Amino acid sequence: MSGKSTLVATKLKNFRETFIRQLPSKLDQIREAHAALGQAASAKDGLDRLHRCLHSLRGVSANFGLDALSDIAAEGERLAKEARKGEAGPETAWGPLLAELVGRLEREAARTDASQLMDLQALEIVAAAETFHEMERKVVYLCEDDSIQRLNLATQIGCFGFEVVSFGELDQFRTAIRNGHPDIIVMDLVYPDLPAGGADIMREVQADLEREIPTVFISSQSSLPSRLAALRAGSSAYFVKPINITDLCTTLHALTTREAPEPYRIMVVDDDPLLTEMTTLVLQDAGMDTRTLNDPLQALPLLFEFKPDLILMDMYMPDCNGMELAKAIRQIDAYFSIPIIFLSAETDADAQFEARRMGGDEFLVKPIKPDHLISTVTVLAERMKIIRSFMVRDSMTGLFNYAATKDHLDIAIKQAQRQRENVCFAMIDLDRFKEINDNYGHEAGDRVLMALARLLRQRLRKSDVVGRTGGEEFAVVLPTCTLQDAGHLLQQLLESFATIGFPAGDTSFYSTFSCGVASLDKYDTAEKLYKAADEALYVAKQEGRNRVVAVGYEEVK
């Protein structure tokens, strides 16, 4: 069995085990249906019920790769079908044959091995049915004629939180797209005897759709003619095989997510209440979040609480003029770079220059046109958001850095204690990451880091905070979450991550991680919570890696 197949089978093992646990009750239903027939073996209702039970067992067993069980059920289905047609009755050996068949089913069910590898078709069916914790899943239609590549892509895309429905033939896809509308399509360009079959069918179906569906083409061809064929068929993106799954899923997420950006936070300081209200009205109408202040001496408390992206202030105010306030703000390290715009009727060029020298980024003369005000504020506020992002986020993964993650943990704990809720904190460490860098190169290691970062961001809740706290170390803050729920969610992520293949030349490799989780209801400070999660992570490493351990050193199953 290949490493890839082993990992996929491991991921889907729970589904098979669930079915096997249900086998006794399914056999009971067959026995009851058989016993209810009595001597009236041709009674239509009873035979219909028996036929349905055997037919269901046959199909589901086959889906899970349990061929022997399916074959025995098929024999019973044939017998029931003959009886329904009047070809067998009580005077025949039909009754004893079925009784013997139920015994064979029981013996086969008893020896069923849950770890046995399922065939490709079974894996595809079960993988499509998998669900994840509290996720709003986007539906992906995947079209790929190669069954192994189709299974591999479907499983790995599913790991990133998408629901994948896969098709091996274009006619199947054509029928499905007429009856359902996925959020996005991943379409192979080349099909047997059809050099641009994927592009041809997309031109055909897109013309009949009520709305345009984003389409990502995949192909072994990187030539310009192939790319043009995809482009002319409505391509939103184009990936050349072997597919970088992280890049593909990042693109799928971008094309299916319509998240409105957070509004700019603008702090307005002006001693004239009417002017303050007018300025605020203009900014709010442009979708910005504002806080106002008429007393400059109260600026610092609002600054620390609101954390604005930009400050608009009058230059001449009583008790503290704008230049003094700007200089005082610039002496606070956290706000050294915050954009400050002066709004004033001052037209003297020297005064304006002095205002800039004292800490202002821009000087706007009252009255200013609303569109000029909005344009200037937007440009400078966006710059501040980018600068702030660089200060609090890891440059490679885009996750929060160590300091920002700790700040978010502190905030989550304070809020939880205020509202009498719980917070869980998890520490994650990639297993044998140095070996990946040594064996496959640092570029491959970077792809692993990016894949885990993307998996965490897409599969966790919007309220959860994900950070990269070290080279191969990550941390997750999970507000309003029990230790049990956190453990199960992280176990799902662990299993999914283990199925993601990373191309490396002519081969591919897999990676795993270890995780420690702690809960606020056992530890009342951030320091204790952090230490407890770190200790649990250490235990996970010591006990063999590739596992989630919760505080109390209980491995999550």
pLDDT greater than 90 at residue 519: yes
pLDDT greater than 60 at residue 462: yes
CB contact burial 85-124 (16+ within 10 A = b; e otherwise): eeebeeeeebbeebeebbebbeebbeebebeebbebebbb
Across 80-104, average pLDDT: 69
Across 23-40, average pLDDT: 75
Across 256-265, average pLDDT: 79
- State the pLDDT at residue 121: 39
Task: State what percent of residues in the chain have pLDDT above 90.
Answer: 36
Q: In this predicted model, what pLDDT tens digit does every residue of 103-128 receive, in sequence order?
A: 888 888 777 765 554 444 334 433 43
164 pLDDT tier (thresholds 50, 70, 90): very high
Q: Which of 132, 11, 130, 161 lies closest to 512, judged by CA?
A: 11
Structural domains present in the chain: 3-110 (1.20.120.160), 130-256 (3.40.50.2300), 265-391 (3.40.50.2300), 402-555 (3.30.70.270)
4 pLDDT tier (thresholds 50, 70, 90): very low
44 pLDDT tier (thresholds 50, 70, 90): low
- State the pLDDT at residue 48: 73
pTM of the full structure? 0.54
pLDDT greater than 60 at residue 40: no
Q: In this predicted model, what pLDDT tens digit does every residue of 206-227 receive, in sequence order?
A: 888 878 899 999 998 899 999 9
Place of tokens 């993601």: 500
- What long-range pairs does 148-154 form, CB within 8 A, spacing at least 24? 148/120, 149/241, 150/124, 151/8, 151/120, 151/123, 151/124, 151/127, 152/4, 152/501, 153/186, 153/218, 153/243, 153/245, 154/124, 154/127, 154/128
